């Protein structure tokens, strides 16, 4: 295992993960995007991505049972089928792209998808066709394996779908748990996931679980009509910071 003294800025990492978990418990998405974008400022993606995938999966377990009654099952099946195609490509990016370029790519991707999320859903519901849904699932799978931010393409796709916030949140919880599990399995089979990840995982599991439970309590108490005001400002700030720092380090 990595010695605790060798992991820098533990307090910053714990705070980032707690905030990300709070957003995830409230909205059903945003944990990985917030945590990865923040942790990439202090840790290499080859460490932060598998650790966040692990934390995301563990934090999701408590959300699965209450979410299952609202989930859109045909939507989940189509997204999952697409994710099976996209995850191997994302794994290749994670293992082959240089660290500085990967960090910059992740930050730009999060920023771009966050800007899309700022656009309000249109009044007319958008048709979620099988082809489009499988394509988005493939993109989500690739982003999950490469950067642990696979939830954002799905959220962008669901905007304006006509689905209620409860159904959107429940579907996000289930599909992200499935893609996290598959991505972790492929990382393990390709020797990206090893015992060195155990120390940072154990360091961050408690703030993750506390944040998720507090967020879920807030969701059931407030019953929000939209998640924009909670997740998007945090995602924007972190992605802009990541883009700026990435450009500075490269040039």
The residue-averaged pLDDT of 109-116 equals 80
* Cβ neighbourhood burial of 241 (10 Å; 0-12, 13-18, 19+): middle
The residue-averaged pLDDT of 33-61 equals 84
The residue-averaged pLDDT of 81-98 equals 88
CA dihedral 183, 188, 194, 199 (to 10 degrees): 30
What is the predicted pLDDT for the residue at 147? 77
What is the predicted pLDDT for the residue at 61? 83
What is the predicted pLDDT for the residue at 123? 45
What is the predicted pLDDT for the residue at 214? 92
What is the predicted pLDDT for the residue at 6? 61
The residue-averaged pLDDT of 139-149 equals 83
Helix spans in the chain (H): 10-27, 31-39, 45-68, 73-96, 99-117, 130-147, 151-158, 165-189, 198-222, 228-250
Residue 138, pLDDT above cutoff 90: yes
Residue predicted with more confidence, 1 or 52 = 52
Domain boundaries, the chain: 4-250
What is the predicted pLDDT for the residue at 164? 80
> Taking a C-beta distance cutoff of 8 angstroms, is the pair 163, 70 a contact?
no
pLDDT band at 3 (very low <50, low <70, confident <90, very high): low
Q: What is the pLDDT of residues 188-244, one digit of tens each?
A: 887 777 777 888 898 899 999 999 899 888 887 877 666 666 667 777 777 787 787
Integer Cα distance of 33 and 13 in angstroms:
14
- 18: nearest Cα among 238, 233, 227, 210: 210
pLDDT band at 124 (very low <50, low <70, confident <90, very high): very low
The residue-averaged pLDDT of 113-135 equals 72
The residue-averaged pLDDT of 34-45 equals 82
Integer Cα distance of 82 and 150 in angstroms:
12
> Taking a C-beta distance cutoff of 8 angstroms, is the pair 5, 199 a contact?
no
DSSP reduced 3-state for 210: helix
DSSP reduced 3-state for 183: helix
Residue predicted with more confidence, 157 or 201 = 201
> Taking a C-beta distance cutoff of 8 angstroms, is the pair 49, 148 a contact?
yes
What is the predicted pLDDT for the residue at 65? 84
Give the single-character DSSP code of 127: P
């Amino acid at each position: 295992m990595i010695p605790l003294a060798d992991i820098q800025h533990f307090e910053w990492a714990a705070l980032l993960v707690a905030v990300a978990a709070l957003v995830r418990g409230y909205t059903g998405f945003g944990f990985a995007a917030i945590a990865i974008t923040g942790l990439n400022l202090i840790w290499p993606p080859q460490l932060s991505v598998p650790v966040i995938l692990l934390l995301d999966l563990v934090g999701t377990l408590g959300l699965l049972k209450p979410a299952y009654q609202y989930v859109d099952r045909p939507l989940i099946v189509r997204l999952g089928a697409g994710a099976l195609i996209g995850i191997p490509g994302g794994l290749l990016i994670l293992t082959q792209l240089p660290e500085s370029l990967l960090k910059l790519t992740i930050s730009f991707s999060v920023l771009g998808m966050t800007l899309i999320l700022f656009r309000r859903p249109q009044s007319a519901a958008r048709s979620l066709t099988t082809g489009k849904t499988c394509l988005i699932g493939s993109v989500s799978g690739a982003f999950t394996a490469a950067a642990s931010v696979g939830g954002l393409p799905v959220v962008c796709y669901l905007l304006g779908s006509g689905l209620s916030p409860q159904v959107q949140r429940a579907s996000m919880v289930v599909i992200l748990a499935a893609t996290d599990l598959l991505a972790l399995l492929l990382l393990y089979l390709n020797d990206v996931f090893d015992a060195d990840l155990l120390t940072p995982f154990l360091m961050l599991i408690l703030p993750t679980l506390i944040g998720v439970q507090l967020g879920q309590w807030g969701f059931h108490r407030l019953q929000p009509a939209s998640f924009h005001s909670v997740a998007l400002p945090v995602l924007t700030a972190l992605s802009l910071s990541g883009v700026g720092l990435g450009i500075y380090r490269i040039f």
